[in-house]
A and B are shown apart, each in its own frame.
Chain A
Amino acid sequence: AQSVTQLGSHVSVSEGALVLLRCNYSSSVPPYLFWYVQYPNQGLQLLLKYTSAATLVKGINGFEAEFKKSETSFHLTKPSAHMSDAAEYFCAVGSGGSYIPTFGRGTSLIVHP
């Protein structure tokens, strides 16, 4: 069984500030982990993924995430927020073999000028 917990349904930051979106996972096998972004009235777009290679994963738009097995975490960060980063962010976990993905409830990122 696998599950994802995203801490905080809403995160508010000022433009230029650090962005930190938290994701903890539970998986009985080595996981594959993903972060997706969803802009209003659009589908989900992949930001980055972890597939057991480097633990620090760099994605699009300046985002990165670090896989920490000891903490079962995969938090998403960006050094400096931009107004265009305002969106809903979803963490997801998969596993090897037949892929039955599990998504978190999402975190809404609000960026203030």
Chain B
Amino acid sequence: EAGVAQSPRYKIIEKRQSVAFWCNPISGHATLYWYQQILGQGPKLLIQFQNNGVVDDSQLPKDRFSAERLKGVDSTLKIQPAKLEDSAVYLCASSLVSQGSYEQYFGPGTRLTVT
């Protein structure tokens, strides 16, 4: 089965510019997650979708970050405007259901550098 797809793999932008990341989860996975992984740290959950609804976005900086999953399949994460501290790897993951016993499947990530 195909894994979680993400694009682009790398992106370099200047501060105050905008950027968007795309994720296509494993087919049939209802739950989709976006994580931010800063160098030397573990992934931090930004937002969790169940189908096309938001389950948790408590750690998403909503003044600059937005995410959508309009048709309950692929998803887009946007940053506008970017700050230097947004430099990180943005990981997308999916799971069959939104329950603690189910493992997540991760994409390769998008490495963002803000200069």
Contact = CB atoms under 8 A, between A and B. Distances in A.
B99 A42 contact: no
A105 B33 CA distance: 18
Interface stretch (B35-43, B66-74, B78-86): B35-43
A106 B37 CA distance: 11
A97 B103 contact: no
Given A43-B91, A43-B108, A100 B48 contact: yes
A96 B95 CA distance: 14
B106 A100 contact: no
Given A103-B42, A106-B41, A98 B106 contact: no
Interface in B66-115: 91, 93, 95, 98-109, 111
B20 interface: no
B45 interface: yes
Contacts of A100: 45, 48, 56
Interface string B41-57: 11111001000000110
B4 interface: yes
A82 interface: no
Contacts of A45: 106
B102 A99 contact: yes
B67 to A, nearest CB: 16
B12 to A, nearest CB: 15
Interface of B: 4, 31, 33, 40-45, 48, 55-56, 91, 93, 95, 98-109, 111
